[in-house]
Amino acid sequence: MDAPAHGYVVLLDSYAPGWEATVNGQSATIYRAYGNFRAVEVSAGQSEVAFRYSPLSLRVGLLLSTLAGLSILVLLAAGPTIALFHRRADDSALQNVAWNSLVPTATSFLNKGIDFGFALIMLRILGPEGIGKYSFAIVIVGLFEILSNFGLNTWLIRELSRARDGRGSLLGMGIALRLMLITVLAPALLVIALLWRDAFGMADDTLLALLILGLGLLPGTVANGYASHFYAAERLQVPALISVVINVLKVVGGVAALLTGQGIVGLAVVSFAMNLVNAFIVGAMAISDAGWQRPSVKLSQARSIMFDSLPLMLNHLLATVFFKIDVLIIESIQGSRELGLYSAAYKFVDGLLIIPSTLTFALFPMLSRLANASPAVAMRTVRQGIRVLLILAFPIATGITLLADQLVLLVAGPDYLPHSAQVLQVLIWFLPFSYVNGLVQYLLIALEKQRFITICFLGAALFNIVGNLILIPIYGIVGAGVITVLSELVILVPFARLAGADFRILTAMASFSWRPIVSTAVMGIAVWLVRDNGLVLAVLTGMIVYPLALTAMGGLEPAERRAIGRKSAEFLGKLRR
């Protein structure tokens, strides 16, 4: 519309709660006009006004209905999973990796779908400031969790995958050490929280949520320790399906906490309770499989284990610092609201990280066995993993860049536009580099080069800190997104050199990238042409065009094309029947 002067646009439609409005892509307040109609304020000149009906009651009902359906699916899947709980010893390694990738990937996507639905409610009820407070508490507790974990989860998976006997004893030592570390370091969490409150300010609800989340690390430690048994035994489907049950319960509790006005403190209490439930379930199943071993460790053993796991902890800590330090800097410089806008964009990124993490954990036990015994097989496995990750990363990053405004509006609402969408368009391009870095990092751990990884992460963390301190005051949260992308590039080169000439990481990326990039460009043009016709049509267009373009470019190997063709024929046959 073209307004001759500053004023109000009145829509002759009934005013009702649940309507949202944007003016030129930015959130606008809806006023009640003439007792019954809707109106928004506009400036002189051209303006695009959009109304959208999105009542909270509809979102809650849809989410709870979806959770009920998902619970039924999980129960139906429980039978086959229990039957596969004791897998045959003669299964091939390739079958094991395929199974261990498929089930956790499916359940991870299911969990992220549940989280996506919960985000539709949480982001609107808490608003940018509330989201910023909760994100800050989670990051602080996450850093503390890394220190108290001390790399023992990864150490346990590696050692358990190599051990033939005494797995119960290893589990007991790992859990005992983590519980000891949490007990010793617990006062530090309180001191850090109080110091931050004095220096930068911290609301009471933020402090209380932080302390409750910190307390939840105790049962979380037990759950993670026992889950290591299933990762090492290459039965990832067990903790994966348990995680779905826990996530459903967490979302139901979280919705109840938000609707009753408990805010971020209520969310923290629900998280603590679900950690207790998770520890009980995973612990009971691991003990029934590996046997009970009282958590205990001798001092001499503790020194040896912690010396071995120290580089793993430092690597994880430095990786988190260079990936999450922007959260602390944004909070201290620009406040909780800006951090909330940034965190809304980050939710898309967090969801997409399940792809490399799932593949990496499925491959890690096998790489631990093959890295020294059969380096040629390990090389082929890693290069094939890089190829698959790049085929997935490029179209995802491009699609989200083109559809960022619509995605943020759908998930978070107009209060987060345009800032969260602008950050997302920059931040998403860390994806291709992060996917490869995640796989190469665990390759280096399998090669027992974790001490060299520490140096790489130290350099990347320093780059990230300095870069954020320079760019955030100038460019705000968009500058933080730029530094995140550059940090992944900074760490990629030394990672590739540490992997050695046998693996040729950079060469593999170059040789595997051009076909997905060209195919993604074709997909991007198609998505751009239809993006104004709705998000669903744009996504479906990309999902159809990209695989067709990739196949035409020769991006899929013959065996993969035959498998896709066979599965497509089977699917069409079922539809005809």
What span, in angstroms and rounded, lies between the C-alpha atoms of 375 and 19?
60
**Long-range contacts of the stretch 346-351 (C-beta < 8 A, 24+):** 346/135, 346/427, 347/115, 347/119, 347/411, 348/400, 348/407, 348/411, 348/424, 348/428, 349/424, 349/427, 349/428, 349/430, 349/431, 351/112, 351/115, 351/116
Q: Tokens standing for 433? A: 């580099």
Nearest to 431 by CA among 383, 394, 382: 394
* Residue of 537, 514, 506, 423 lying closest to 472 (CA atoms): 423
Residue 286 contacts residue 171 (beta carbons within 8 Å): yes
56-82, pLDDT tens digit by residue? 565 556 555 655 555 555 445 444 444
Rounded to an integer, what is the distance from CA 244 to the centroid of its chain? 15
Are 553 and 527 in contact by the 8 Å Cβ rule? The answer is no
Count CB atoms within 10 A of the CB of residue 529.
Answer: 11
Bridge pairing between strands 26-28 and 19-23: antiparallel
Angle made by CA atoms 304, 308, 314, in degrees to the nearest 5: 130
pLDDT tens series, the chain, 577 aa:
677 778 888 887 777 767 777 777 676 778 788 777 888 888 887 778 777 776 656 555 655 565 555 555 544 544 444 444 444 444 444 455 555 555 666 676 677 777 777 777 788 888 888 888 888 888 888 888 888 877 777 777 776 666 655 555 667 677 777 788 888 888 888 888 888 888 877 888 888 999 999 888 888 888 887 777 777 666 666 777 788 788 888 888 888 888 888 888 999 999 999 989 988 888 888 777 766 666 566 666 667 777 777 777 777 777 777 778 888 899 888 888 899 899 888 888 877 777 777 677 667 777 777 766 777 777 877 888 888 888 889 999 999 999 998 888 877 878 888 899 999 999 999 889 988 888 888 888 888 787 787 788 888 888 989 999 999 999 999 999 999 999 888 888 888 888 877 778 888 888 888 888 999 999 999 999 998 888 889 999 999 999 899 888 876 666 555 555 554 555 445 445 5
Q: Is 466 strand, coil or helix?
A: helix
For residue 12, give the 3-state DSSP assignment.
strand
pLDDT of residue 521: 94
Q: What does pTM read for this prediction?
A: 0.69
CA–CA separation, 183 and 176 (whole Å):
11
Secondary structure of residue 220 in the 3-state scheme: helix
Contact between 494 and 459 under an 8 Å Cβ cutoff? The reply is yes
Handedness of CA 326, 332, 338, 341 (dihedral sign): positive
Give, as one character, the DSSP assignment of residue 293: -
Q: Judging by beta carbons within 10 Å of its beta carbon (0-12, 13-18, 19+), is residue 267 exposed, middle or buried? A: buried
Q: How far apart are CA 366 and CA 438, in angstroms?
A: 16
What are the φ and ψ backbone dihedral angles of 201, each rounded to 5 degrees?
90, 135
- Give phi and psi for 374, each to the nearest 5: -140, 75
pLDDT of residue 78: 46
SS3 42: strand
For the record, the structure tokens of 503 come out as 């693996």
For residue 418, say if its preceding peptide bond is cis, omega within 30 degrees of 0. Answer: yes
Pick from 522, 520, 519, 523: which is nearest to 538 by CA?
Answer: 523
Distances 131 to 93, 264, 274, 511 between C-alpha atoms, Å: 43, 8, 20, 41
Predicted pLDDT of residue 556: 64
Are 45 and 70 contacting, i.e. CB atoms less than 8 angstroms apart?
no
**Are the C-beta atoms of residues 97 and 362 closer than 8 Å to each other?**
yes
- Strand 49-53 to strand 19-23: parallel, antiparallel, or no bridges (unpaired)? antiparallel
Q: Determine contact, residues 15/30, Cβ cutoff 8 Å.
A: yes
Amino acid identity of residue 277, one-letter, is: V
Distance separating alpha carbons of residues 142 and 568, to the nearest angstrom? 43
Amino acid found at 418: P
Q: Are 495 and 440 in contact (CB under 8 A)?
A: yes
> What is the largest distance, in Å, between two alpha-carbon atoms of the chain?
82
Question: CA 98, CA 563: separation in Å to the nearest integer?
Answer: 14
Which alpha helices (H) appear in 477-534, and where do they start and end? 477-499, 505-530
Residues contacting residue 38 through CB under 8 Å, at least 6 positions apart: 10, 11, 13, 14, 15, 19, 21, 30, 31, 32, 51
Residue 551, exposed/middle/buried by CB under 10 A (0-12, 13-18, 19+)? middle
